[in-house]
Amino acid sequence: MSIRALKGFKDILPDEVGIWQRIEATARDVFHRFGFAEIKVPILEKTELFARSIGEATDIVEKEMYTFTDRNGESVTMRPEGTAAVLRAFIEHSLYAKLPVQKLYTVGPMFRHERPQKGRLRQFHQLSCEVLGSDLPRLDAEVIAMAWLLINELGITVSLEINSLGCPECRPVFKDTLVKFLDERAGSLCEDCERRRHTNPLRVLDCKSAHCQEQYVDAPSILDHLCRGCQDHFGTVKESLAQLEIPFKINSFMVRGLDYYNRTTFELITDALGAQSAVGAGGRYDGLVEQLGGPSLPGIGFAMGMERLVLLLQQQEAQANGPTSDLFIAALGEEAQKIAFAILHGLRKNGLQAGMDIEGRSLKSQMKQAGRANAAYTLILGEEEMAKKIAILRDMSTRAQEEIPLPEDLAEWCQALAAKIKSNQC
RNA sequence: GUGAGCGUAGCUCAGCUGGUGGUAGCACCGGGUUGUGGCCUCGGAGGUCGUGGGUUCAAGUCCCAUCGCUCACCCCA
């Protein structure tokens, strides 16, 4: 048996890489327009970083992290998300001292030991954005608007849902009210909800069982329990999104799986990915910087799943064209091949994408290779041409052929041919 | 962690109530065109039928186990 990749770990093959590059390029462009700077942070961090930020009791920390002790006996973890590591770097290098408001993004792999399924892998990739240093509600809208714009520029259709989770002032009050509501219905809920009633009461509202949903129709809503400050904040977020004409739906049942979120949360959702509906999601995390040992600074951020974007793009559009080539050299015979080898390198030095056959196959076969490589031109160097000291330059789309003399000064000849081909193409 | 479906050529898949592995499509190689790609045509190569047991005269086919993949639950990007 040959060695296979680990479960949930996937190779991104050349055919697919084009889409990945396009997504990243579009993202960098959009992020740049909003004033975001890229930061690259390590994949491996001290386990404590994630335990403290994401929350000890979350599923991610409890059962999904790749955690192990390294050779020094220290507990380390492969990052399950991007925010914690970026904030760690932000604090460690005192970036807050350089600018009042920092806008950062990072791109890279994340790791969670879950059972793989459509749109969910153990190593997956996220585009992750953070804004540190402001708690103004208009910033929430700006961040959401940026995510929305990126999705739009990629040509993907999703819907936006927003919610407010309140703050440490008002959320506990709501939680008590909710728990009381659920206690009254104990016994008539589904198995999952019975369990969640104790472990994560906020999440029962998200239950997919129709029976449960019927009962939750008159469940208390977080939005009715927001304190004055959170109400005003959420109000401005909604108003700002409306001002930018970004359509959104309020989903008071929306819950996030990371403990650090408060106030504004949002999700970009699609129904085209099976069970994994969130393409991107994020929210405000005031207090997290301080919790990680930094200054008391508010923050907001979001992450988008690269694999999910790729799946959506693959569904929505035909495959991009294969790689294209400027020129292919078909050489017949040892003498011709030897000259072709030098010409090939000379053309490449002059900026052409050029290739040739190295197996010494028939001309027909070599022409086939030229066609497969999508070459604009083929340079034919056969025995006849060698005798006449010429080469044939064939335009593959028009099939027109012209004879050109073989090089006397190779460097000059290659430069001229490269220039000619480039000018003909544009 | 729980459940379901599926493992036959590089890929997508036929293969009936067990009876010698498919002139199947795509891709690959070669010929037709002794030196010219895409279209056409002819040919070629390519397989421990996921693995290990069992039943049987005989197993790709039935049974058991195991591994892998996929989807769903859960969770999440």
Distance CA A357, CA A371 (A): 12
Does nucleic acid strand B have an atom less than 7 angstroms from the CB of A79? no
Alpha carbon of A367 to those of A332, A370, A376: distances in Å?
Answer: 12, 5, 12
Nearest nucleotide to A333 by CA–C1' distance? B35
- Residue A318: what pLDDT? 55
Which stretches does DSSP call E strand in A298-343?
299-305, 325-331
For residue range A83-102, what is the model confidence (pLDDT) as tens digits? 999 999 999 999 999 999 99
The protein residue nearest B74 (Cα–C1') is A192
- Residue A3: what pLDDT? 82
pLDDT less than 50: residues of chain A? none
Does nucleic acid strand B have an atom less than 7 angstroms from the CB of A383? yes
Interatomic CA–C1' length for residue A117 and nucleotide B3, angstroms? 14
Does nucleic acid strand B have an atom less than 7 angstroms from the CB of A407? no
Nearest nucleotide to A386 by CA–C1' distance? B35
> What sign has the CA pseudo-torsion A45, A48, A53, A58?
positive
CATH topology of domain A14-170+226-316: BirA Bifunctional Protein; domain 2 (3.30.930)
Distance CA A298, CA A401 (A): 68
Residues 292-321 of A with CB under 7 A from strand B: 303-305, 307-308
Asked whether A297 and A290 are in contact (CB, 8 A), the reply is yes
> What sign has the CA pseudo-torsion A227, A230, A232, A238?
negative
List the nucleotides on chain B closer than 7 A to a protein CB: 1-3, 28-31, 33, 35-38, 48, 68-77
Between strands A354-356 and A325-331, the pairing is parallel
Q: How many residues does chain A have?
A: 426
Task: Please state the pTM of the whole predicted model.
Answer: 0.90
Please count the CA atoms within 13 angstroms of the CA of A218 that sit on its side-chain side: 2
Does nucleic acid strand B have an atom less than 7 angstroms from the CB of A198? no
Residues 95-124 of A with CB under 7 A from strand B: 112, 114-121, 124
**DSSP symbol at A218:** T
Interatomic CA–C1' length for residue A3 and nucleotide B47, angstroms? 20
* CB-count burial class (<10 Å; 0-12, 13-18, 19+) for A296: exposed
Residue boundaries of the structural domains of chain A = 14-170+226-316, 325-421
- Residue A317: what pLDDT? 65
For residue range A206-247, what is the model confidence (pLDDT) as tens digits? 777 777 777 888 888 999 999 999 999 999 999 999 999 999
> What sign has the CA pseudo-torsion A46, A51, A52, A54?
positive
Cα angle: A200, vertex A43, A94; to 5 degrees: 90
CATH topology of domain A325-421: Rossmann fold (3.40.50)
Q: Kindly report each contact of residues A342-350 with a partner whose C-beta sits within 8 Å and lies 24 or more positions away, as own/partner.
A: A342/A410, A343/A379, A343/A407, A343/A410, A343/A413, A343/A414, A346/A410, A346/A411, A346/A413, A346/A414, A346/A415, A347/A414, A347/A417, A347/A418, A349/A414, A350/A414, A350/A415, A350/A417, A350/A418, A350/A419
Distance CA A45, CA A54 (A): 13
The protein residue nearest B48 (Cα–C1') is A1
- Residue A426: what pLDDT? 67
Query: Which of A331, A367, A327, A369 lies closest to A348, judged by CA?
Result: A327
Interatomic CA–C1' length for residue A115 and nucleotide B63, angstroms? 30
- Residue A232: what pLDDT? 97
Interatomic CA–C1' length for residue A376 and nucleotide B31, angstroms? 27
Interatomic CA–C1' length for residue A22 and nucleotide B47, angstroms? 39
Interatomic CA–C1' length for residue A424 and nucleotide B34, angstroms? 35
Q: Which amino acid is at A306?
A: M
